[in-house]
Amino acid sequence: MERQGPSNTLNSIQLMFLIHTVPIGVGILGLVRFVADKAGHDAPLAILLSGVYTQAAVLFSWLLLRRFQTLGIYDIHRRLFGKWMGSVFSLLFAVYCLFAYFMTIRTFVELVNTWMFPLTPVWLLTLLFMIPIVYSAFCGIRLLGRYAISAFFLTAWIILLAYFPLSTGTLSHLFPIGSVGLNDLFQGSLLSALSLLGVELLLVYYPYVAYKKDVLPAASIASWSTILVYTVIAVVTIIFFSIGQLGKTIWPMLTMFKHVQVPFIERFETIIIAVWLVQVVNTSGTYLWAGIEGVRKAIPLKKGIVYSLIAAATLPLSQMINGRAEMNLLLNLLSKSGFYLMIGYPLLLWLISLILRRKGDAS
Amino acid sequence: MKGRDGRVKILKELLLSKLIEKLSTGQGQNDERPDHDVANERIGTEDGEEKVRRVLAAVSHAQDVETHRIGRGRSTIHLIFLKSLVDLNVQQRDVIKPMHLVVSKGGSTEQLRDTISINERDKVVRLDEAVAYLLSGWTLVAMPGEEGLYGFKTSQVPGRGVSKAENQSIVIGPQDGFTESIDTNLSLIRKRLRTPNLRVEGMKVGELTQTSVIVLSIKGVANEEYVEEMKERIGKIDVDALIDSGTLAQWIDDQPLSPFPQFNLVERPDSACSGLIDGKVVVLIDGTPYVCMGPSSFIEFFHSPEDYFNRWMSSSLVRLLRLFGVVVSITFSAIYVAVLTYHYEIIPANMLKTIAQSRARVPFPPLYEAVFLELTLEVLREAGVRLPTKVGQTMGIVGGIVIGQAAVSAGLTSNVMIIVVSLSALASFVTPSYVMGNAVRVIRFPIILIAGLWGFIGLSVGLVTILIHLLNLSSIGAPYMSPYASLRLADLKDTMIRVPTQLLTTRPAMTRAQKNKKAGNTSLKRK
Amino acid sequence: MKRSVAVCLTLALLSAVVLPGCTITRSKVLEELGVVSAVGYDLAEDGGDLLGTTVLPNFTDTGQEKVDVLSVTGHTSKELRFNMSRMSERKLVSGQIRVVLYGEELSRTGILPLSDTLFRDSEIGSQIVLAVVEGRAINFFTKRYPDKPSIDIYLYRMLRKEMSERSMPKTNLHTFIRDVYDEGKDPVLPYLRLGKEDILVDGLAVFHDDKFIGLLNAKEARNLAYISSKGTSTGELEATLKETIRQGVHAHAVLMYIKTSTKWDVSHSGGRPVFQANVLIQGAVSEYTGGHNLEEKQEIQKLEQEFAEEYQQELSALIKKLQKDFETDQLGLGEMYRAKGFIKELEKEKWRELYKQAKIDVKVNVRILQTGMIH
């Protein structure tokens, strides 16, 4: 049962939390290692620098969306390229979203396989995680907005645990600040692309946002606070690990929280992984919803059918990917395509719309 | 008194119109046809005997119908009534005795009518109306030579007086609870809310029970949409019997499949009043001491009226304690099972020995052990509820101490598991709302199961799914997880904690009340 | 109608997840596990092989605690594990390992491969303690210690206590791996010696990369802890004073409740690094056998001065030992040097050369905060 009308909207706070939390998926767990590969001890700086990318993405998306009044990306496609071509573009965008949904779930399965259940088949874990993910996407954007708020508060406390790694860390690892040079810093910031993805979904949320005036400030605040979270994590990670050791650690954030010991829980990372599911459902569910929204805009199919088809396709596909090498290849593809889609695509569409003099009408 | 009269009038009208409707149209579909169609039949000026005969024929299945005659010959007065519903003393005193007096003096029909001191009366000319009055406990009087019948209200419904609220009892604050009588319940609310804006709208639900239902709301405060929606949903209920507000709440649920109650059921007039003041719609149902209240939010089920009577710090502590209790009750056994089955590495060194030794002799895996113990506990609890108090105590000893001790010493369960399970059971009792407590009881089992099969990650999947469900729920269209769902900071003042009374100046956004302020701007400083 | 279809689907999905879950997810029910709590590695007597020893607490006998000790030989630690699991009726798991001991001989050949495996294993915590033992690790596990808790708990508690009291720098699996991989720092580990009926923490094992090359005694270990980190300690500092009580007998004083902090000045002059450590020690006099009145400010200052001198000598000797004798950088001076931006990329060999030539000075300041209840 799909709810129609004004009740199916996002308020500005929900929009803010959505844009803030959706990028924080599985990427953050390995983020600092990637960035430190190039930027070394200046990884926090590189990550801070990558805030420029998300800000640019927000700005370009906003320029495009503002021009088309209440339309979202899928309707803009149709307006710009006509019915058939528009549908093709919408489908492509939807495929990207579904790819992101799939990779999020698959990476998390990989993580659980490594840390908890090494013998459990991939498809079974995928099935398990799909229960909340498909459920949340099926409930629609209003639920996703509400869920983003919960996801934030259910995971925000983790940052407090940084006390433990900080207390045994070496502060001097951070210094001298900014010594790696602009080139390395820039290249390092590009490596954080995977963790930045999620901001581009603003293009899909937009028609549901109740107060369109708030979009630019809300999205900017949200994306910068995401960057802030990443920077804090990066600072703690760099203080905790030596660079050589960091290069050998696949999920530095988890290894770091392995160091947490409280009197009644000897090891914390198991709990962190379990809690992290909250974020994974958030990211993955939102991408799934956004993708299916696109599919349904392009091909008029019943909601239940589309969901069943995509859910059914996820299982064999996830079983098909084997090993870290293949995973890394696909993640690389995702981060590259996502990065261009996030920044370049809205800019491109905006320019096209300027040239073609197409606009959204007031209705 | 004016309000009461008005209400009675409304009720009367409603009762009649509904009943007539049912009698005239609804009966046609029933398998059991009435002996003859009573709709639209008129009672004319025929003989008293004939009137009685026709009414009796219309209610031929009711053998508790009684008739009574006053006088003799052509001027005989006939009385028809249902013995089980009529207060015979009142009837004797106010109807029969004065009539005898008048008849013996040979008074006219006019005098006869005037001598009866009962205020609620009506002249009935239609047979179906007459039957409806009869079934409500009125006494019908057939006067000689007059058209139709006269009805006098002599009804008396058995019931108990106002007593202490049993299941939602509190220490300080008002102690009275609702009763089974809708009139008493309404007066308990009116007693507290002396405003002309209290809107009382009566309805009838249940084809056979004809249960009176009253929808209450405060005009100018409650959101009209909710009032209309509530009335519409109640109006759509098509059922033979409506006995309790719990049933009504399930009929009007937003999501009937959910394990969570979407309407709060309260036994206390003061809770109902504060609900009304916050802009909620309250539904009274005749025959049950529980009223149904909506829209309700999840967190509301963990509030008790006492929270407002106590100081804010202690109330906040108690509220946090209740939420902690719920979390413990849902997850504690599950966490223990998960740790024992999959995550032995998180057990601290000094605890490992205790746990491992207590597990050493147990022949079942932790999951079976936990489910077995939880079930035993639920059985004990259910048995305790059904048994009289004195037997219940014995059973507590047998169940709790004898079985528990014996099971441990026989090596069937570990004592740590007993502690865990009893703690989680104990924690579930702190939920003030019984229906919510039951919901918590229910979801504990799937959570234990999934934790036993998938460890922490399964537990997480289970809890996240429940969270999504809760966030998706609504209560007459209002978000169930309000104010967390949209993070209204102003409403957080009265949720998990309760801030000082002076700061509680606004109504919760959930009820979308027409008037937001409920107190003037107050300051914490005494000037 | 639609809803009931959705519910049926969900239920089907759930049961699909639940049913195979029982069999496919390999559960680790506690009582079926051989929970390894301590591991020891030695060189096997017959040559290049490893000799592994594990300690398994046995909980099956209620009340009385029993420990199983298994030892096997093999080429790699994984092979050890494989061979070992053939000796136990329970499934061996390593999630509760708390103590890892390395035999002295093995440590000299380098222990990175062994500890790296531990670090890579997601089951093993990063706060477990590592130690080098005199002789062979297996002897520590096979010996019985009356009046002591089981060997794993005994070692774990003792070493954690020593570290929290700052009798030695804080070390664990994580810090060891971190320092081995750090270009500008070398690791240390506690060094254990077998006593008559107990185990003695007898200073620190100094590592050159991952190879054990020398020993610091208990006092040096404590001094290293004081200088390399900031914090408080319940330990005592003793100084022999110039003041004499009788002919030839010097007075002495003891400082307690010590708070230390070190500030390093790093500079570069004449092609070599220059380090200046300013160590501040604060404490209370708990023992003083001299005759001066400690309520007088001058006397206190004199006492402070004497403490500082004595302690400065000790620290200088420690640094000299590390720099000249062992040529290892336990203080992390390389890291400091890099952090100041004197060299962009720190390379281990290059740093070792620089370190040899480095000028390292220590200046100690002692501040006496109170003099106890009597004077």
Same domain, C247 and C112: no
Gyration radius of chain C's alpha carbons: 26
Instruction: Compute the nearest-CA separation of A122 from chain C (Å).
Output: 11
Is C89 among the domain residues?
Answer: yes
Q: Where in chain B are the domains?
A: 2-153, 182-296, 318-479
Q: Which range among A102-111, B42-51, C39-48 shows the weakest confidence by mean pLDDT?
A: B42-51
In the stretch 112-151 of chain C, residues with CB closer than 8 A to chain A read 122, 125-127
Which pLDDT score, from 0 to 100, does residue B33 have? 41
pLDDT at position B335 over 90: yes
Mutate one of A2, A131, A172 to test the C interface: name it (highest C CB count within 10 A). A172
C169 CB-near residues (< 8 Å, 6+ apart):
C163, C188, C204, C221, C224, C225, C228, C229, C330
On whether both C148 and C71 belong to a single domain, the answer is: yes
The answer to whether residues C263 and C277 touch, using CB atoms and an 8 Å cutoff, is yes
Instruction: Report the predicted TM-score, pTM, of the whole model to 2 decimal places.
Output: 0.87
- Based on the domain organization, do C211 and C237 belong to the same domain? no
Each residue of B181-234: pLDDT tens digit?
898 899 999 999 999 999 999 998 988 888 899 999 999 999 999 999 999 999
pLDDT value for A4: 36
Whether residue C337 contacts residue C252, with contact meaning beta carbons closer than 8 Å, is answered with no
Cα separation, C13 vs A133, in Å, equals: 13
Establish if B371 touches chain C: CB-CB under 8 angstroms. no
Domain span holding position A326: 13-356
Q: Does A150 touch chain B (CB under 8 A)?
A: yes
- pLDDT given for residue C329 in this prediction: 87
**pLDDT level of residue C150 (50, 70, 90 thresholds):** confident
CA distance B144 to B46: 9
Tell which of A245, A257, A265 to mutate to test the C interface (max C CBs under 10 Å).
Answer: A245
Whether the pLDDT of residue A99 is over 70: the answer is: yes
Q: Name the closest residue on chain C to residue B362, using Cα atoms.
A: C31
What single-letter amino acid sits at A349?
L
**Interface mutation target, options B336, B345, B454, B460, chain A, most CBs of A under 10 Å:** B460
Q: Which residues of chain C have a CB within 8 Å of the CB of A304?
A: 2, 5-6
Q: Which chain B residues contact residue A275 at CB under 8 A?
A: 460
Work out the minimum CA distance from A134 to partner chain B, whole angstroms: 10
Does C338 fall in a domain? yes
Mean pLDDT within A257-267? 85
**Is the interface score ipTM higher than 0.90?**
yes
Residue C27: name the closest of A312, A335, A120, A66 by CA: A120
- Whether residue A207 is contained in a domain is answered as yes
- Does residue C165 sit in the same domain as residue C245? no
* Nearest CB neighbour to B465, from listed A112, A131, A271: A131
Can you tell me the mean pLDDT for A89-107? 94
Helix (H) or strand (E) holding C231: strand C231-233
Q: In Å, how far is A229's CA from the nearest CA of chain B?
A: 21
B466 touches chain C (CB under 8 A): no
Is C4 part of any domain?
no
How many angstroms separate the CA atoms of B220 and C138, rounded? 84
**Hey, are the CB atoms on B468 and A135 less than 8 Å from each other?**
yes
In a domain, A2, yes or no: no
Tokens 């220490």 label which residue? B171
Beta-carbon contacts below 8 Å between B and C: 71
Provide CB contacts within 8 A for B30, sequence distance 6+. Answer: none
**C248 and C212 in one domain?**
no
For range B9-37, the mean pLDDT:
49
**Helical pair A303-320 and C2-24, crossing angle rounded to 10 deg:** 20
C186-228 pLDDT per residue, tens: 899 999 998 888 898 988 999 988 889 989 988 888 888 888 8
How close does chain A come to C334, measured CA to CA in Å?
11
Beta-carbon separation of A281 and B348 below 8 A: no
And the tokens for B335? Answer: 């966490």
In a domain, A55, yes or no: yes
pLDDT value at residue C210: 87
What are the CB-based long-range contacts (under 8 Å, 24+) for C111-117? C111/C41, C111/C210, C111/C211, C111/C212, C112/C180, C112/C209, C112/C210, C113/C76, C113/C77, C114/C41, C114/C50, C114/C77, C115/C173, C115/C176, C115/C177, C115/C180, C115/C210, C116/C177, C117/C77, C117/C78
Distance CA C372, CA C375 (A): 7
Question: Which of C233, C159, C236, C170 has its CA nearest to residue C201?
Answer: C159
- Cβ burial of A74 (10 Å; 0-12, 13-18, 19+) is buried
Is the pLDDT score of C15 beyond 80? no
Q: How far is CA B127 from CA A238, B16, B60, B67, C115, in A?
A: 91, 12, 14, 16, 98
By the CB < 8 Å criterion, does A288 face chain B?
no
- What DSSP letter does each residue of B323-346 carry, written as one string? HHHHHHHHHHHHHHHHHHHT-GGG
| Residue C161: inside a domain | yes
Looking at residue A356, its pLDDT comes to 85
User: Rounded mean pLDDT of chain C?
Assistant: 82
Of B155-164, C59-68, C72-81, C150-159, which one has max mean pLDDT? C150-159
Q: B68 versus C5: which is more confidently predicted? A: B68
Confidence (pLDDT) at B3: 44
| A156 Cβ contact list (under 8 Å, min separation 6) | none
CATH number at residue C324: 3.30.300.210
Pick the residue with more confidence: B146 or B184? B184
Does A223 reside within a domain?
yes
Instruction: State residue B233's pLDDT score.
Output: 93
CA distances C153 to A271, B213, C57, C100, Å, are 25, 69, 10, 12
Window B:260-289, CB contacts with C under 8 Å: none
Q: What mean pLDDT do residues B403-409 have?
A: 82
Do C163 and C76 reside in the same domain of the chain?
Answer: yes
Containing domain of residue C145, as a range?
30-216
Residues C307 and C208 in one domain: no
In angstroms, rounded to a whole number, what is the distance separating the alpha carbons of residues C125 and C172? Answer: 10
A116-142 pLDDT per residue, tens: 888 888 888 999 999 999 999 999 999
In a domain, C224, yes or no: no
Q: In CATH, what number is assigned to the domain containing residue A94?
A: 1.20.1740.10
pLDDT tens digits for B255-302? 888 999 999 999 999 999 999 999 999 999 998 999 999 899 999 999
Q: Is the CB of A147 less than 8 angstroms away from the CB of B343?
A: no
Find out whether B95 and B139 touch, Cβ atoms under 8 Å. Answer: yes
Residues C353 and C273 occupy one common structural domain: yes
Residue in this structure with the two tokens 């013995």, named with its chain if needed: B83
Total structural domains within chain C: 2
